[in-house]
Amino acid sequence: MNPLKASVIGMIILAATAVVFFFGKDIFSFFENFRAALLSGGGGELSYRRLLDFRLAAESASSEQKSSASPVASGFTTVEAEVFSDYPFNNFSRLTIAAGSDKGLKAGMPVFEGGNILLGKIVSVGSRTSEVETFFDPSWKSSVFIGGEKIKGLLSGGSSPSVDFIPKGSDVSSGMQITNSDSAYPIDAFIGSVNAVENAGNSLWLQATVKIPFDLSNVNDVFVVTNFD
């Protein structure tokens, strides 16, 4: 077999294997890392070691982005609770958690993912379970800040959350952090970042789509703030 052809086939097999073992949960991430590995030098040589190095680097960058968000402010008390799974019929707008009045939980308490990302609030409480409304619920509305200048907007929930009613002419761009400004939740609590900005169909407002720094389908635990009032 032609050596070049054999090399190409080998690379394809390695790529397919890596999809399963390295990037099964995120195909887009795989191809980004695969492309980066090919362009990183070494005469185009691709290896298991290089793919692993790029995967670890990507995970480290993701972790740093997540940890760079402001944590739940000191002074707050939290209760960690497991999330029940309705797989494969997940309804991400509402979650059921394994803690209720037995843990001192009450309706209205803020709920965080990973300890530092505002996810929602408790809307009903049982003796050992509670229901959480997340900002993936279409009925969700809360005030937010965008960027260091704290440009005001309204977070509108749904399967693809957006920030609406951003004043026209505001200097909003992709990558800016979105934080809470609503009195129902801790001030400046991190929510996500701006994905893209577009006109809202009129001359008065801009609209931004929101990039969420986690995959809700992989959230197994949440933190409930019990002393915010």
Higher pLDDT residue, 110 or 7? 110
Looking at the structure of the chain, the number of domains it has is 3
pLDDT tens track for 120-130: 999 999 999 99
User: Which of the four pLDDT bands, split at 50, 70 and 90, describes residue 53?
Assistant: low
Q: Do residues 199 and 151 share a domain?
A: yes
Which of 21, 46, 67 finishes a domain?
Answer: 67
What the block records as the tokens of 224 is 């409930």
Name the 3-class secondary structure at 107.
coil
Distance of CA 122 to the CA centre of its chain: 19
Cα(136)–Cα(191) distance, integer angstroms: 12
The dihedral built from the CA positions of residue 37, 211, 222 and 96, taken in this order, carries a sign that is negative
Q: What is the pLDDT of residue 50?
A: 53
Cα(121)–Cα(94) distance, integer angstroms: 10
* Cis amide bond preceding 71, omega within 30: no
**Per-residue pLDDT at 60 exceeds 90:** no
Domain that holds residue 132: 78-137+216-225
User: Which of the four pLDDT bands, split at 50, 70 and 90, describes residue 22?
Assistant: very low
**Do the domain assignments include residue 73?**
no
Cα(93)–Cα(52) distance, integer angstroms: 35
Q: What is the pLDDT of residue 63?
A: 45
User: Which of the four pLDDT bands, split at 50, 70 and 90, describes residue 40?
Assistant: very low
Residues 6+ apart with CB under 8 A from 116: 66, 67, 69, 70, 71, 72, 190
pLDDT tens track for 63-101: 444 444 444 655 789 999 999 987 666 667 899 999 999
Q: Do residues 127 and 146 share a domain?
A: no
Per-residue buried b or exposed e for 146-170, using 16+ beta carbons within 10 Å of the residue's own CB: bbeeebebbbbbeeebbbeebeeeb
- CA-to-CA dists, residue 90 to 85, 94, 96, 217, 218, angstroms: 7, 9, 11, 8, 11
Residue 83 exposed, middle or buried by CB count within 10 Å (0-12, 13-18, 19+): middle
Q: What is the pLDDT of residue 15?
A: 56
β-strand partners of 166: 206
- How many C-beta neighbours within 10 Å does residue 33 have? 23
Residue (of 170, 166, 87, 101) closest to 130 by Cα position = 101
Q: What is the pLDDT of residue 204?
A: 83
* Domain CATH code at residue 203: 2.40.10.350
Q: Do residues 133 and 120 share a domain?
A: yes
